[in-house]
Amino acid sequence: MKAIAVNRTGEAGRPHLDGSDNDTIHLRTDVAEPSLEEHPDGRGVLVKILQVGTCGTDREINRGEYGQAPPGNEFLVLGHECFGEVLEVGPKVKDFKPGDLVTATVRRPGTGVLDRMFFHDMTHDDVYFERGINLLHGFFCERIVEHESFLIKMPGHLKEIGVLSEPMSVVQKGIRLAYFMQQARFPDFHPRKALVTGAGAIGQLAALALRLRRVEVVVSARTPGPHRKAELLDHIGARYVATEGANMAEVLESEGPFDIIFESSGSSRVAIAEAPFLLAKNGVCIWSSISGGDGKCEVRTDEINQAAVLGNQLFFGTVNAHLIDFERGVRDFEHAMEHFTGWLPQLLTNKIDLSQATDRDAPREIIKPDRDGVKAYVNLV
């Protein structure tokens, strides 16, 4: 079976297997067909992969900064944002049938107590298992077999945007936890203004989710508009402000303070040294970007500390998503289709068709950055 993989082994930060620092993303044709027998409880589901989304994490894995291949493997099949169609189900499968459209969660349970309670997105374990990222092969192949408990059904009318489910789930988890914790802390919690940092797919989806909750939204990123990302935000009533690389806290001083900050800029400086200065008293800051490098900067720690304590502020990190976040994402997609008709499909800016590809280097296109693009996705079949 065809698959897109990287040469990856050992711990993150170590060089690629072939000793090079170069891109090792490649097409292979020797990946074993998955089998329903992999799930002896009879609850396996065979899925034909229709589309797989790509993101910065794939680029980091390709560069060797992050992720590991499954033990004993010299390559890792990439892909953690999938959308597919059920081909066949095991004898004990209850909730799926051939023809159903599905997406899958990314992380799989380890051994910890929370993992056993199906909260593996919040695992206490140091080692985590994520399809296409860490220790498990991903979805960039023609077919997968998955246990039904990790699949989510997508309604047929969301077929066009099903591949956005995984990034949406990450957004949903951050917002769900922020609202949950704020409602516990403040009986009158009623956010008015939010700031989203970063205008990529996560930033756009976070802006959408907050607009659907009737929050006023400002989105900041570096590049001055007009451009596609700013126009998209305008369509959902969010306002784009460019920082042009200047200190975000200074550029946005007159816009703030914000009751919610959804941080998805990819810059630890923005997250740690700048965003806190824009957070309102009693506000919540959701850190969602994973900055893979070793960046350093000066931080006005006394001021941040004092405002956080005197202002009852909440800062928290969030990664991955629970099954319920995928389900909440489906609900928001449905609302968005109603309120902002035609908007979601416009996030799918770059379609990469590898269905006919035979060249080993063909997948390199996937990791090429495109500043104007929002979400790239790949057709492999």
The site for ligand BGC (CB under 6 A) is made up of 55, 57, 80, 106-107, 130, 133, 166, 170, 290, 319-320
**Minimum CB distance to ligand BGC, residue 170 (Å):** 5
Distance CA 139, CA 165 (A): 14
**Minimum CB distance to ligand BGC, residue 17 (Å):** 20
Q: Which is nearer to ligand BGC, 130 or 148 (CB)?
A: 130
**Minimum CB distance to ligand BGC, residue 153 (Å):** 19
134: burial class by Cβ within 10 Å (0-12, 13-18, 19+)?
buried
Q: Which is nearer to ligand BGC, 289 or 313 (CB)?
A: 289
Q: Which long-range contacts (CB under 8 A, 24 or more apart) does 61-64 make?
A: 61/6, 61/8, 61/133, 62/6, 62/23, 62/24, 62/25, 62/367, 63/21, 63/23, 64/8, 64/12, 64/13, 64/14, 64/15, 64/16, 64/21, 64/24
Of the chain, the end-to-end C-alpha distance in Å amounts to 11
DSSP letter string, 86-124: EEEE-TT--S--TT-EEEE-SEE--SSHHHHTT-GGG--
Q: Which is nearer to ligand BGC, 26 or 80 (CB)?
A: 80
Q: Are 2 and 48 in contact (CB under 8 A)?
A: no
Q: Which is nearer to ligand BGC, 113 or 290 (CB)?
A: 290
**Minimum CB distance to ligand BGC, residue 43 (Å):** 23
Handedness of CA 209, 131, 263, 379 (dihedral sign): negative
Q: Which is nearer to ligand BGC, 258 or 326 (CB)?
A: 326
Q: Which is nearer to ligand BGC, 151 or 249 (CB)?
A: 151
Pairing type for strands 101-104 and 151-154 reads antiparallel
**Minimum CB distance to ligand BGC, residue 105 (Å):** 8
Q: Which is nearer to ligand BGC, 107 or 193 (CB)?
A: 107
**Minimum CB distance to ligand BGC, residue 156 (Å):** 25
**Minimum CB distance to ligand BGC, residue 375 (Å):** 12
